[in-house]
């Protein structure tokens, strides 16, 4: 007997399953016979100990083996009967097992949501085409200056918000244990990503000064080595640094490009922005179509998929720091808060993928080997490797299926763009 229960606004399902006593007894008897053949029981030759003694002596082993044998296949059969597609491994509880009686238990898991797909053909979207203005050129120049920024030591004043405090840091765990030690930590004072305790205790410190403070990390802190623990920190301020942007002049243009002067660099930037305008229009169109479909399709999403997407977003942030030459372990970032801020976007990402998957199936859109070969070729060209090497690495890492799924979603999104009704206007037209 199987009974499924769930909240209407949740993807969590619970199956109350009962296995008949006859089936349980049959499986139990076989396990007892198998154990009897190999068990060494004092006073009995191998295979000769009575079943009643074996059942009593190996009760826990028999129960464990019985559950391992019967539960998975019964759960799978129950999910098939209820037409449920799980996205998490079932968690078993409320196990009721008495010898000679039916075996009862509950299996809990999350499933893909069932929803009626809203109309998705001929979606009408309005796009305000990005015009390339002088402001866009200046914004690009600012980004280039940020990338070329240097950190200049500050003398004769205390740390203030916006500064970078260079620290020699020692953290001693409460109750003893291996201390944390770092010789050269850069702490961005007052920044959103910096733990507030560091901001509060380092603000106003001068070079050569030592500050002592405690931090009680939350139980769900991103670093499991710190989660739920209290550390006493000794922070020696070895330097105070200020971020300095290079001057915007001809020398800067020569340093960051093959331009001979700043005016020449501005011209080239504008040409590049204009060339990328069509690509931006396509990206904006796809984003608007996705946002429209997410808003039109109301359904719950599996929490496990949302958590996975939040982890993926956090991982991208960590990778971005590493690519900038920053050791993520050496920055005082509140990873828990940063991860929590990804929740709403993660829910939208999961909804979008589920919608695209349904449309792909409905329109029979697939990514074939030609698509995969083309993507591998792009990766090989970008990484300076051969396509054979890239494919071998992806195969070894087991990511080819994920790549194919991603390509399928991209093809579906492009199909939606081509089948949408798009109205493009310029900013000047939109403000009339």
Provide the pairing of β-strand 91-96 with 103-110.
Answer: antiparallel
pLDDT, tens digit (0-9, with 9 covering 90-100), for 53-70:
888 888 888 889 999 999
- Please give the average per-residue pLDDT across 251-266, as a whole number: 91
The per-residue pLDDT of the chain, averaged, comes to 86
Which is more confidently placed, 345 or 225? 345
* Cβ–Cβ < 8 Å for 35, 47: no
The pLDDT score that the predictor gives to residue 432 is: 36
Position 408 confidence tier, pLDDT thresholds 50, 70, 90: very high
Give the chain's domains with CATH numbers.
2-110 (3.30.70.1050), 124-129+250-430 (1.10.3120.10), 150-244 (3.10.50.40)
Position 8 confidence tier, pLDDT thresholds 50, 70, 90: very low
- Residue 146 pLDDT more than 70? yes
The pLDDT score that the predictor gives to residue 234 is: 93
Which is more confidently placed, 338 or 138? 138
Position 430 confidence tier, pLDDT thresholds 50, 70, 90: very low
The pLDDT score that the predictor gives to residue 99 is: 83
Which is more confidently placed, 432 or 315? 315
* Cβ–Cβ < 8 Å for 352, 294: yes
The pLDDT score that the predictor gives to residue 332 is: 66
Tokens standing for residue 155: 């003398």
The pLDDT score that the predictor gives to residue 97 is: 86
- Please give the average per-residue pLDDT across 172-185, as a whole number: 86
The pLDDT score that the predictor gives to residue 424 is: 82
Most confident of 97-101, 139-143, 338-342: 139-143
Position 409 confidence tier, pLDDT thresholds 50, 70, 90: very high
- Please give the average per-residue pLDDT across 228-251, as a whole number: 91
The pLDDT score that the predictor gives to residue 366 is: 92
- Residue 329 pLDDT more than 80? no
Tokens standing for residue 362: 């409905």
Long-range contacts, stretch 405-412, CB < 8 angstroms, 24+ apart: 405/367, 407/367, 407/371, 407/372, 407/375, 408/360, 408/365, 408/366, 408/367, 409/353, 409/356, 409/357, 409/360, 411/360, 411/365, 411/366, 411/367, 411/371, 412/356, 412/359, 412/360, 412/363, 412/365
């Amino acid at each position: 007997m199987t009974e499924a229960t769930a909240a209407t606004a949740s993807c969590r399902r619970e199956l109350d399953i009962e296995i008949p006593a006859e089936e349980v007894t049959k499986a139990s008897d076989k396990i007892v016979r198998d154990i009897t053949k190999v068990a060494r029981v004092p006073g009995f030759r191998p295979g000769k100990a009575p079943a009643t003694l074996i059942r009593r002596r190996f009760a826990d082993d028999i129960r464990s083996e019985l559950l391992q044998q019967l539960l998975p296949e019964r759960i799978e059969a129950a999910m098939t009967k209820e037409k449920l597609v799980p996205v998490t491994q079932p968690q078993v509880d409320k196990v009721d097992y008495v010898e000679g009686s039916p075996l009862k238990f509950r299996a809990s898991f999350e499933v893909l949501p069932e929803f009626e797909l809203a109309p998705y053909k001929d979606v009408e979207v309005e796009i305000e085409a990005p015009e390339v203005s002088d402001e866009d050129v200046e914004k690009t120049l600012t980004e280039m200056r940020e990338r070329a920024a240097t950190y200049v030591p500050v003398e004769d004043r205390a740390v203030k918000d916006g500064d970078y405090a260079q620290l020699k840091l020692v953290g001693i765990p409460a109750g003893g244990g291996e201390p944390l030690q770092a010789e050269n930590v850069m702490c961005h004072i007052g920044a959103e990503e910096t733990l507030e305790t560091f901001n509060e205790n380092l603000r106003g410190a001068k070079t050569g000064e030592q500050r002592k403070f405690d931090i009680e990390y939350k139980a769900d802190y991103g670093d499991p080595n710190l989660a739920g623990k209290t550390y006493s920190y000794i922070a020696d301020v070895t330097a105070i640094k200020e971020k300095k942007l290079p001057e915007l002049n001809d020398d800067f243009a020569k340093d960051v490009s093959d331009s001979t002067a700043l005016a020449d660099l501005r011209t080239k930037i504008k040409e590049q922005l204009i060339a990328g305008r069509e690509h931006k229009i396509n990206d904006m169109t796809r984003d608007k179509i996705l946002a429209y479909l997410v808003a039109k399709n109301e359904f719950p999403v599996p929490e496990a998929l949302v958590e996975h997407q939040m982890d993926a977003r956090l991982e991208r942030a960590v990778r971005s720091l590493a690519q900038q030459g920053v050791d993520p372990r050496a920055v005082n970032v509140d990873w828990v808060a940063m991860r929590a801020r990804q929740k709403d976007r993660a829910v939208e990402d999961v909804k979008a993928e589920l919608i695209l998957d349904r449309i792909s199936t409905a329109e029979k859109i697939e990514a074939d080997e030609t698509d995969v070969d083309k993507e591998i070729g792009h990766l090989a060209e970008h990484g300076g490797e051969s396509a054979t090497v890239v494919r071998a690495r992806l195969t070894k890492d087991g990511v080819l299926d994920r790549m194919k799924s991603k390509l399928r979603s991209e093809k579906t999104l492009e199909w939606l763009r081509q089948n949408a009704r798009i109205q493009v206007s310029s900013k000047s037209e939109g403000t009339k």
